[in-house]
Amino acid sequence: MYQDKTLICKDCGEEFVFTAGEQEFYAEKGFMNEPQRCKTCRDQKKTAARGPRTYYTTTCARCGREARVPFEPKTDRPVLCSDCFAEDRGR
């Protein structure tokens, strides 16, 4: 029913594809308008609206290395560096 469409980004002027799957998703959600920006420009706009992210420095509870995290560490919960966190997730 849906077919891929090539659209022009209103910010950067580049062509991007509005896929059949994306069109179906838009229809399911009740969105009436086609996207006006490519994925890169949409992401940049979201990031700019959110503002800069604050990072906090703490010590990893497992390996003892310095870790930068995007949330304020609490003393009652252990914080892991990205390597230890990824290792835990892999288990």
The pLDDT tens digits for 19-36 are 999 999 999 999 999 999
φ and ψ at residue 69, rounded to 5 degrees = -130, 150
pLDDT for res 47: 86
List the structure tokens of 26: 């838009």
Does residue 91 register a pLDDT over 80?
Answer: no
Helices (H), the chain: 20-29, 39-50, 82-90
pTM score: 0.56
The predicted-structure confidence for 41-56, as pLDDT tens digits, reads as follows: 999 999 888 878 899 9
**Do 68 and 55 form a contact (C-beta atoms < 8 A)?**
yes
Closest CA to 22 of 11, 14, 33, 12: 33
